Amino acid sequence: MHLPNTDRRTFLKTTGQFLIGFNLFPLLNCSPSEKDPNILQAYSGIPERPHGGRDLIDSWIRLDAEGHVTVLTGKKELGQGIRTALIQIAADELEVDIQRCHIINGDTGQTANEGYTSGSNSIEGSGKAIREAAAEAKFFLLQLASAKLECSLEDLNLSDGTIEGLQNKKTSYWELLDGQYYEKTISGEAPILDNKRHQYVGKPIPRADILELVKGKAHFVHDLRLPDMVHARVLHPPTYGARLLSIDKAKVEALPGVLGIFVDGSFIAVIAEREFQAVKAWEKLKESTVWEKPSINPLPDRLFADMRSKAQKPEIIQENPNISEKLNNSPIRLKSAFQRPYHMHGSAGPSCALAKWEEEKLTVWSPTQGVYPLQSTLADLFQVELTNIRCIGVPGSGCYGHNGADDVSAEAALIAKAFPGKTIRLQWMREDEHQWEPYGSAMIMELEAGVSKEGMIQAWDSKIWSDSHSTRARGDAGHFISARYLENPFEFKKGGFSGGAYRNAIPLYDIPALNLKLFNYDGPLRSSALRGLGAYANIFALESFMDELAETSDMDPFTFRINNLKDERAIAVLEELKSKTNWNAMGRSGNEGYGIAFAKYKNTAAYFAVMAEVEKDPERKSFKLTRMVGVIEAGQCINPDGIINQTEGGMIQSASWTLIEAVKYDEHGFLSKDWNSYPILRTNDVPEVEVYVINRPELPPLGAGEAAQGPVAAAIANAVFDCTGTRIRELPITAEKINW
């Protein structure tokens, strides 16, 4: 595939068009496959072209002469419904029918650089940019209309792109553009539509891609079928740092369909005509290789002790000189330590990517969360100019953070380099995904607090031990796992530990004296961003500890929290939860227990409060999570059903982490290799979930996709305590840890 010409002047000269079309599946124009009944028909528009900078309207919103609106975003669809939400914003701001709108996500050949799709930032970031660009486009077009129709802006009536002036004179966006290209910048001065006039924002507009999914249409990067495509598998080393001693290629090369084996240091890949032939070859490779295997240290039984003893000198994140005095003077003083094991992203579909080298140019079709960081890191890997690499984002299986998506993309590109002209489709096997993804780091949270007689928190001292929560690729090839195993390996520099470790460690509660220390720890397992980063464990600890403080202060957990909050929106979320759960009337005579928890994600994003209900079976010494009720407030709600879907999902996923998950390993390597050795929650054990949204259309939208992770963990711990009297501070919360 040829790269779009990135020289803007040349582009403008050669096309002279304003706005362009796009493809739902962003590569089909270069690979028409008429025989394939499942390939989506490309929307026939004007050819693709690069974006010209974040400050141009055209980088976010394009209109064509036929009446289509194309929205561009650097953010990726990860199953969170971002495409639909951004289209809603654009359609409202342009005041057009939503059916006119299409969207392109994450393509270095077309969309603006918006970094990674992470941290629940897409609506706050991309949504804002698209809203402003759309407002600016509309403002500009209305000015053109005003001149053409010879009337003032106030005399214009706009409806679905048609503009009516005085004496029934009419024009439209499309007519005004007349195939012209206007390079307009976003001034920020265009008026933003009053939210009361929104037709789509705030409504549960269904995700159109779900209709395609239920019909089995091509949707995932896994579903791409390109000409000259061959299938690849990578034989990853048996454990971290293992080195290939010898390989007997002949047996593998003799297998049917095998087209080649690529070995570079300890990086081994095989390509074959058919996918299953590649799988067979991969199995044969396992038997045909000899490795030197270092052992993993420390082992799980010593992990947390090692964390405390080997951590670096602490970073002081926040310090109050009076904290000792405040703690000493508090009539109620408590100290507790909490632990979280390594957790897995555990994507349902193994990572997959396609890559092709042709005429010294590389194209990668990737499920990455960030096409631009992937591009710059690939440029480092191959020591080529950025302009020689195009990364096209295509949906993958849900990733929930930094999983194998970037690694598989780099590996596909490495293999493609060795077999130029062929399109390499690489898919990981289940064990690759389970063993080689970077996990959410194990952590220790040690909390101490003092509370007054009146139940007001006086001082809060936190210590956190953690490995990095972000080792994403940002330009250094050593962040790709396989780049470290090449003959000339790229060094992995962990770099600065991210603020992700102490995300949400500062309580939102109104506390006069706060201390926060972070002990960075270089742990035994590969770690990086998993949904919520440190917020999951920090909120688990903080909100479990709040319950301990409430209990010791002999106060109701709602009252204790509300009394210590000043943030009205936080209080409103808790009040709503209290009302929806009918908290005061909850029966407590039987085997049920109830727990609540609350957080404002990152202390800057969505507010979320949750109640968990558990039921114990003392005879069987077991318990079950039966119900969760959540209340979320994310400012202006773009799509209530989208928020509910994301929040329900976050709640169930967090319940799974909290109840049953922990990555297992021994000195020889990984023990969590599949769904039996790393089970996750399935339908039989999934609780009922209810989610309520507080919409504040007058306020800016807040990121919501990760808000549930932490509070759910604490609510479950609190419910288990309520039910059994056992306070479990070490995740996962299993029946064996309960003192029956």
Partner 1 sequence: MKKPLELQVNGAVKTVEVDPEEPLLYVLREEFSLNGPKFGCGLHQCGSCLVLVDGEASYTCRIPCASFEGKKIQSIEGLSNGDKLHVLQEAFFEVQAAQCGYCVNGMMIAALELLEGNSNPKMQEIKSALNRVICRCGTHSRFIKAVKKATSSNSNL
Number of residues that bind partner 1 (CB under 8 A): 65
Interface with partner 1, residue 348, by CB under 8 A: yes
In the range 272-291, which residues lie near partner 1 by CB under 8 A? 274-276, 279
Alpha helices by DSSP H, listed for 630-738, are 640-660, 709-724
Contact 591, 615 (CB under 8 A): yes
- How far apart CA 51 and CA 56 sit, in angstroms, is 8
Contact 148, 96 (CB under 8 A): no
Please select the residue that binds partner 1; options are 674, 698, 700, 725, rule is CB under 8 A.
674
| Least CB distance to partner 1 at residue 322 (A) | 43
Interface with partner 1, residue 41, by CB under 8 A: no
Interface with partner 1, residue 646, by CB under 8 A: yes
Contact 709, 535 (CB under 8 A): yes
Selection from 21, 34, 36, 423 nearest residue 218 by Cα: 36
Alpha helices by DSSP H, listed for 329-429, are 371-382, 405-418
Interface with partner 1, residue 641, by CB under 8 A: yes
Selection from 629, 642, 654 nearest residue 706 by Cα: 654
Of residues 432 and 448, the one with the C-beta less far from partner 1:
432
Taking the CA atoms of the chain, what radius of gyration do you get in angstroms?
A: 27
Please select the residue that binds partner 1; options are 46, 78, 394, 447, rule is CB under 8 A.
78
User: Would you tell me how many other CB atoms lie within 10 Å of the CB of residue 262?
Assistant: 18
Give the per-residue contact string, 288-327, with partner 1 (x = CB under 8 A; - = no): ----------------------------------------
Interface with partner 1, residue 396, by CB under 8 A: yes
Tell me how many degrees the CA angle 432-435-441 measures, rounded to the nearest 5. Answer: 140
Of residues 39 and 269, the one with the C-beta less far from partner 1:
39
Please select the residue that binds partner 1; options are 59, 70, 80, 108, rule is CB under 8 A.
80
Please select the residue that binds partner 1; options are 9, 196, 620, 682, rule is CB under 8 A.
682
Contact 532, 706 (CB under 8 A): yes
Of residues 95 and 437, the one with the C-beta less far from partner 1:
437
Q: Which residues pair with 607 in a beta bridge?
A: 600, 633
Contact 323, 317 (CB under 8 A): no
Q: Is 621 left (phi over 0), alpha (psi -120 to 50) or beta?
A: left
User: Would you tell me how many other CB atoms lie within 10 Å of the CB of residue 627?
Assistant: 17
Of residues 223 and 556, the one with the C-beta less far from partner 1:
223
Q: What is the DSSP letter of 388?
A: G
Interface with partner 1, residue 358, by CB under 8 A: no
Of residues 73 and 520, the one with the C-beta less far from partner 1:
73
Contact 340, 540 (CB under 8 A): yes
Of residues 204 and 499, the one with the C-beta less far from partner 1:
204
Q: How far out from the chain centre does Cα 613 lie?
A: 28
Interface with partner 1, residue 616, by CB under 8 A: no
Give the per-residue contact string, 202-241, with partner 1 (x = CB under 8 A; - = no): --x-xx-xxx-xxxxxxxx-xx-x----------------
User: Strands (DSSP E) along 361-477, which ranges?
Assistant: 361-366, 389-393, 423-427, 443-451, 457-466
| Least CB distance to partner 1 at residue 283 (A) | 10
Local structure of 607: helix, strand or coil: strand
- How far apart CA 570 and CA 509 sit, in angstroms, is 10
Interface with partner 1, residue 75, by CB under 8 A: no
Give the per-residue contact string, 19-38, with partner 1 (x = CB under 8 A; - = no): -----------------xxx
Interface with partner 1, residue 664, by CB under 8 A: no
Selection from 623, 615, 570, 579 nearest residue 597 by Cα: 570
Contact 378, 410 (CB under 8 A): yes
Of residues 391 and 644, the one with the C-beta less far from partner 1:
644
| Least CB distance to partner 1 at residue 223 (A) | 5
Interface with partner 1, residue 584, by CB under 8 A: no
Of residues 562 and 680, the one with the C-beta less far from partner 1:
680
Interface with partner 1, residue 40, by CB under 8 A: no
Selection from 539, 716, 563, 540 nearest residue 626 by Cα: 716
Exposure of 71 in the CB half-sphere (CA atoms within 13 A): 34
* Three-state DSSP string of 120-156: CCHHHHHHHHHHHHHHHHHHHHHHHHHHHHCCCHHHC
Please select the residue that binds partner 1; options are 119, 398, 557, 710, rule is CB under 8 A.
398
Interface with partner 1, residue 689, by CB under 8 A: yes
| Least CB distance to partner 1 at residue 358 (A) | 23
| Stretch of residues binding partner 1 (CB under 8 A), selected from 78-86, 383-391, 661-669, 723-731 | 78-86
Local structure of 173: helix, strand or coil: helix
Interface with partner 1, residue 650, by CB under 8 A: yes
Of residues 35 and 566, the one with the C-beta less far from partner 1:
35
Please select the residue that binds partner 1; options are 13, 676, 736, 739, rule is CB under 8 A.
676
| Least CB distance to partner 1 at residue 622 (A) | 17
Contact 644, 207 (CB under 8 A): no
Give the per-residue contact string, 146-185, with partner 1 (x = CB under 8 A; - = no): ----------------------------------------
Interface with partner 1, residue 626, by CB under 8 A: no
The binding site for partner 1 (CB under 8 A) comprises 36-38, 78-81, 204, 206-207, 209-211, 213-220, 222-223, 225, 256, 274-276, 279, 345-350, 395-398, 400, 427, 429-430, 641, 645-646, 648-653, 655-656, 674-676, 680-684, 686, 688-689
